[in-house]
Amino acid sequence: MLATLSPQIRQYLIITGNYWAFTLTDGALRMLVVLHFHQLGFSPLNIALLFLFYEIFGVITNLVGGWLGARIGLNKTMNIGLGLQVIALLALTVPTAMLTVPWVMAAQALSGIAKDLNKMSAKSGIKTLLPAGVASSKTQVPAGEVAYESRLYQWVALLTGSKNALKGVGFFLGGVLLATLGFAGAMWAMAGVLLLVWIASLLSLKSDLGKAKNKPKFGDIFSSSRAVNILSAARLFLFGARDVWFVVALPVFMATTLGWADWAVGTFFACWVIGYGMVQSIAPYFTGKKSGKVPDGRAAMLWAIPLAVLTAGIALGVSLGNGLAVILIGGLLLFGVLFAINSSLHSYLIVSYAKEDGASLDVGFYYMANAMGRLIGTVLSGWVYQSAGLAACLWISTAFIALAALISLGLPRHVTV
């Protein structure tokens, strides 16, 4: 059956399969680290610090990785990412006595590099595989090109949504593996499976995928596109807004204040992220597909406003302290729907704004801002929760989303002609 598909579709499926496999291990690893080190008595701030290098090296990797992908090909950067994740998992199989903070931070640094090489390669690969079309940053979009932009949005939404749904499965998998195999056993199991995926990827991905015709200079890692720069700034605050409560504060709050068992925490996060990914996959239907339109910068601003209002409502409910479990579960499920649409819309816009030759440069710069937002959110998640509680994390999240909406006012808008 695969033989009957076009080469572009086959390569897209291989990239998607690699991304899926990596995402399962990435989601499981995050939940394993949070729950295992919480059991070992680590404070929320110390748990957040375990992810510090993961996020810092994500920032660096996205900045340099886009340039690297344009020079050596996206197949190589994706395969390097898979290989590094195998090494990171194996590094965490050591005895518990050796799992010191510096050791875990170093392993997380490798995992952060791996994750962002993999993501940048996958997102840039779509721009390379889909036939050339108009960039949505143009003010005027000819009607004949709307079909291209709509198709591009669907491909990006499918890749991003399916990845996040599987990340949710990874959260659940992490909780199950911790309960059944223990921390080290889980690392061995995931490393073995990912090693097989890595070998298959080495044999199947095209060697010239995403390689720029003109070798970019190192100075080209900084985007010269106004649209990309504005969208990157908005993305920084958007993802900082999520991670300020999501990474450390919420799972620790559920385990301590609400008294949930580890498997229950893992299950909630799994369901939340799976639902989030499913909404991302169908986001084009919420943002104009039915009317034959493709979204622009105005849509990014408009969809951020209800997300900010909702987050403020959740923060207020948590501050008042009545019906905490109902407010959190109901509110954060709605948050997941709105955030998924915002995220999918952003992911489409960056791929559309990216230049045709060496798309990974613009995509890498954008996801550098994404990683910076995650870094800020992760550190704040542990520090603010430990010092002021979950409500404070949610109020900061509200402010960050409002900033993302304001920044999005500067994004290009288009009209169909």
Can you give the CATH number for the domain in which 145 is found? 1.20.1250.20
Residue 135 contacts residue 355 (beta carbons within 8 Å): yes
Q: Give the Cα-Cα-Cα angle 67, 70, 141 (nearest 5 degrees).
A: 100
Is 90 exceeded by the pLDDT of residue 7?
no
The answer to whether 351 and 338 have CB atoms below 8 angstroms apart is: no
Q: Tell me whether residue 214 is in a domain.
A: no
Structural domain including 408 reads 2-209+219-416
Is 70 exceeded by the pLDDT of residue 127? no
Query: pLDDT tens across 311-335, in order?
Result: 999 999 998 877 788 888 899 889 9
Q: Report pLDDT digits (tens) over 247-294.
A: 888 888 888 888 888 778 778 887 888 888 889 888 888 876 555 677
Q: CA–CA separation, 412 vs 198, rounded Å?
A: 39
Residue 376 reports pLDDT greater than 70: yes
Q: Is 142 helix (H, G, I), strand (E, B) or coil?
A: coil
Residue 93 has pLDDT above 80, yes or no: yes
Q: For the chain, first and last CA: distance in Å? A: 40
DSSP string covering 218-280: GGGGS---HHHHHHHHHHHHHHHHHHHHHTTHHHHHHHHTS---HHHHHHHHHHHHHHHHHHH
Q: How far is it, in rounded angstroms, from Cα 33 to Cα 37? A: 6
Secondary structure of 335-366 in HEC code, one letter for each residue: HHHHHHHHHHHHHHHHHHHCCCCCHHHHHHHH
Lowest-pLDDT choice from 183-197, 289-303, 355-369, 402-416: 355-369
Determine how many CB atoms are found less than 10 A away from the CB of residue 290: 9
**pLDDT, average across residues 360-371:** 80
Rounded CA separation 64/81 (Å): 13
352 compared with 115, residue with greater pLDDT: 115
Tens-digit pLDDT profile for residues 36-88: 888 888 887 788 778 888 888 888 887 787 777 777 777 888 899 999 999 99
CA dihedral 271, 332, 123, 134 (to 10 degrees): 130
3-state secondary structure of 261: coil
| CA distance readout (Å), 145 to 142, 298, 354 | 6, 19, 16
Give the total residue count for the chain.
417
> With contact defined as beta carbons under 8 Å apart, do 412 and 295 qualify?
no
For 6, the 3-state DSSP assignment is: coil
Is the Cβ–Cβ distance between 135 and 95 less than 8 Å?
no
Among 3-12, 68-77, 149-158, name the most confident range: 68-77
pLDDT above 50 for 170: yes
- Give the burial string for 327-362 (b: 16+ CB within 10 Å, else e): bbeebbeebbbbbbbbbbbbbbbbbbbbbeebbbbb
Asked whether residue 249 is domain-assigned, the answer is: yes
**Is 359 a domain residue?**
yes
Q: Specify if 386 maps to a domain.
A: yes
CB-based contact 361:223 (threshold 8 Å): yes
The predicted pLDDT at position 142 comes to: 47
Give the three-state DSSP class for 70: helix
The whole-angstrom separation of Cα 295 and Cα 348 is 9
Number of domains in the chain: 1
Do 375 and 244 contact (CB within 8 A), yes or no?
no
Instruction: Give a yes or no: residue 174 inside a domain.
Output: yes
Please tell me the pTM assigned to this model: 0.75
